Amino acid sequence: MSPEATPVDDRALVAAAQAGDRQALDRLLRLHQDRVHAVCRRITGNDADALDATQDALIAIVRGLPRFDGRSRFSTWAYRVATNSCLDELRRRRRRPVVGLPEHDGEVLDIPDTGGRAFDATVTDRLEIDAALAQLPEDFRAAVVLRDLCQLDYAEIAEVLEIPAGTVRSRIARGRGQLADLLAGNQTDPAERPTPAS
- What CATH number did the domain enclosing 63 receive? 1.10.1740.10
Residue 195 maps to a domain: no
Q: Does residue 86 share a domain with residue 126?
A: no
Instruction: With beta carbons less than 8 A apart as the criterion, state whether 142 and 172 touch.
Output: no
| Max Cα-Cα span within the chain | 61
Using DSSP's 3-state secondary structure scheme, residue 47 falls into helix
Indicate whether 70 and 119 sit together in one domain. Answer: no
Q: What CATH number does the domain containing 127 carry?
A: 1.10.10.10
Provide CB contacts within 8 A for 28, sequence distance 6+: 10, 13, 14, 17, 74
pTM above 0.75, yes or no: no
* pLDDT tens, position by position, 13-23: 999 999 999 99
Identify the pLDDT of residue 78: 94
**Same domain for 67 and 30:** yes
Tell me: do 131 and 181 sit in the same domain.
yes
Rounded Cα distance, 33 and 47, in Å: 15
The tally of domains found in the chain comes to: 2
User: Which pLDDT does position 132 carry in this prediction?
Assistant: 87
Last residue of a domain, one of 95, 124, 146: 95
Q: Are residues 39 and 129 in the same domain?
A: no
**Residue 21 and residue 76 share a domain:** yes
Residue 43 main-chain phi, psi, to 5 deg? -75, -45
175 lies in some domain: yes
pLDDT in the model for residue 122: 64
From residue 12, alpha-carbon distances to 6, 26, 69, 152 in Å are 10, 13, 13, 22
Does the residue 86 lie in any domain? yes
Pair 79, 125 in one domain: no
Last residue within a domain, chosen from 39, 66, 95:
95
Q: Which residues in the chain come in under a pLDDT of 50?
A: 1-8, 98-121, 187-198
- Whether 70 maps to a domain, the answer reads yes
The answer as to whether 197 is a domain residue is: no
Q: What is the domain range of residue 7?
A: 1-95
Q: Are 16 and 24 in contact (CB under 8 A)?
A: yes
User: What pLDDT does residue 149 have?
Assistant: 84
Of the candidates 95, 125, 150, which is a domain's last residue? Answer: 95
Residue 98 φ then ψ, to 5°: -95, 115
176-196, pLDDT tens digit by residue?
Answer: 999 899 888 854 444 444 444
Amino acid 112: pLDDT: 39
Position 119 in a domain:
yes
Whether residue 105 lies inside any domain: the answer is no
Domain match, 61 and 135 both: no
Question: Do 173 and 117 share a structural domain?
Answer: yes
